[in-house]
Amino acid sequence: MLEVETLDKKAITRLYPERSLEERGHGKLLSFFVPDGALNRHVVLRDKELVIARRHGAIVRSGQNILLDDATLAATCWMQGIFAAQLTIGNTSFHKLFSVSRDPYNLTRASGLRIMADLGAGWQLLAVPSAFEMGLSDCRWIYQCPEQTIIVTAVASGEDAAMQWSLSVEGKPCRFLVFGHVVLGEREYDAGGQIDFDPARKRISFRPDPAWLWGERYPDAVYWLVSSTPDAIEEIGGDELLYADGLARNGAFVALRSRPTQALSFAVVGSMTDAEDAERLAQRYEAGISEEAMLAPASTFWRKAVRGMRIDSASPDLAAQATLLPWLAHDAIVHLSVPHGLEQYTGAAWGTRDACQGPIEFLLAYEHDREARQVLKTVFSEQYLEKGDWPQWFMLEPYANIRAGDCHGDIIVWPLKALCDYIEATGDLAILDEKVSWRDEKTMQKAPEADTIAVHVEKLLDTVRERFIPGTHLIRYGEGDWNDSLQPADPHLRDYFNRHLVRDGVVAGYGIFDPAHDSVELLLHPSDTRTGLSFSLIAMTQAMLGKLFTPAQRRHHMQLIEEHLLFPDGVRLMEKPATYAGGPETLFRRAESSSFFGREIGLMYVHAHLRYCETLALDAAADALWEAIAVVNPIAVTKALPQASLRQRNTYFSSSDAAFPDRYQAADDWARVKAGKIAVDGGWRIYSSGPGLYTRSFVENILGFKRRFGRRRRKPLLPAAHATLDLRTDHAAWRRLMKPKPQM
């Protein structure tokens, strides 16, 4: 590893001239945000005392499109000196150029794009830098060495399917060895492909195996690695450049070795559909493109995504919320357009439930109605022609035959909810007359006929009616529900579950409708003798949000949540974890067998907590809502919760995980979590509907920008301390709502 130094404040000021540095929550200068108009840049400093559960990383993507397409480049950058992992254009699973980084400890060197430097004492790996800076479309690694400062910058173009890396040296020139672990498919070593070297022009082309899935569906797909500083490059080649003897070992690597230099630049460009277009991009980036030219359209895109919203405030609490908004937009758009996350790096598909929640709610909150309409048309075009329902998840063309074979019982209702959300916000009833195709579940091809979305809805409703438990209007549980951990272990029981039953004034999480018994057995209810669990958050909040409760019932269930499910770091799905017996499954599969204590197993699932925030808005509980949303803001959480562990502060975390080493200790010491005596870690990052839900709560409920059938109104729900915030926006309709009304 390369010896680097921690930056001091003087060095930081030199790197960020004329910009104020805003510390957030850590108490010492370990990470900070650099304000940049409506956007922010997050900087993390190297510190030997800094211990975090998850390594810092960022997903950058190219272009201007909010929706999934085959022209958007995406890559994951890690602080530990992985300058691009899982680089793809289009499908984020099948179209990988460089491999995924799965090693959080940085022990291996064979993942993604890596760089070595020779400062005069042989090759050393550029690993954890002195400082790591993340923007919405770029990253920067700063290595302060004893006699030189090396800066590596990676930028995803806001216009092209392109990503460029620039290396600069302050001080004596040094040599670099850049090498990438090539996949050219879905998994390492699983597919072939063609790699061609052009030593004269110092460039490399990559094409997928025409006999494999990617090459078959995209016969013209090609990536190019090119350089605008070819004179600085001594040699390009394969893995022979990685060994002192210069002999190839047939490793899946490409490499370029530079001469001693103070500047080196190279880029990856490509196209999945047009080899000539890829060649034009290659020539453009060989000629040289400045970082400013690449980032200007990207900055415009991200500002439009948040409607140019800017909140100026001296209050740290409000500043933390304002700072997070563009990062939430980033995460929401990654979830929709290049589906994967930092931990959940497989993806490329739309979950039916996911597409109908976070993306729709994010798009409607910022009034990106055209894109929301397109998401709905796409989802309804994937409805099965005969069954009338959807799979749990599906890929889009040309991989639409790849999809889940089953689905949870609640999946079918989410497209209907999303459609209702859209119409109730926009008033666009004309969408019901839009004709979209069906999916033939036998062939997985598009059915030849198309029908209006209104006809699709009728088919959906017929299917729901067919699935009612006899004598009720309650839909069968199927393969599970919204809580992924509570999937039925006994296939016989899956037809008898339900979520909305009330006994003794308390709604049950589930009910078993067994014809062999006269009454319904309630689970996750005070009368439950089978699971030992008494309360289910989702059953309560969804009933409130669906207006199934009377006002008295709602107040009673809010009291139950506060008494049994509200913990310092947020509300939990149940009052305690399901019993873990080391593997045997009796009722719920994952809840009873998963050894990992996080996400739904650890019970504080941020997505569900954000739905609880919506119930607080129903009661206009401004102070409670503000406190509830603050504990899931990664910028504010370490200030709001003394027991919250340090974590990456510019990414949405999908759960708050009590820091138990195993499930046995979690069961023994569970009371300490509610008492705030157990540390809580941030869970998986970025990939979730949560950023969209958070955005909706903040924009619609807290800031108060709401629509009903196209008519706008503003009714903020802010604590008294923040009622006079300085809010600016590029959205003309919102500016009109903020103008003071004339005095009569």
Identify which of 566, 512, 513 has the alpha carbon closest to the alpha carbon of residue 535: 566
For 327-362, b/e burial (b = at least 16 CB within 10 A) is: bbbbbbbbbbbbbbbbbebebbbbbbbbbbbbbbbb
Angle of CA points 534, 537, 543, to nearest 5°: 110
Q: Do residues 63 and 158 make contact, with C-beta atoms less than 8 angstroms apart?
A: yes
Residues in the chain: 744
Tokens of 190: 């699983």
Question: Cβ distance 415 to 390 under 8 Å?
Answer: yes
Q: Are 424 and 708 in contact (CB under 8 A)?
A: yes
Residue 675, C-beta contacts closer than 8 angstroms, at least 6 positions apart: none
Which one is catalytic: 47, 369, 428, 484? Answer: 484
User: E strands of 628-704, at which residues?
Assistant: 656-658, 680-682
β-strand partners of 96: 88, 185
Rounded-to-5 percentages of helix, strand, coil across the chain: 30, 25, 45
Parallel/antiparallel/unpaired status of strands 506-508 and 501-503: antiparallel
Distance CA 110, CA 696 (A): 40
Please confirm, yes or no, whether 484 is among the known catalytic residues: yes
Q: Where are the beta strands (DSSP E) in 465-609?
A: 501-503, 506-508, 510-512, 521-523, 566-567, 570-571
Burial class (CB in 10 A: 0-12, 13-18, 19+), 729: buried
Residues with catalytic function: 484
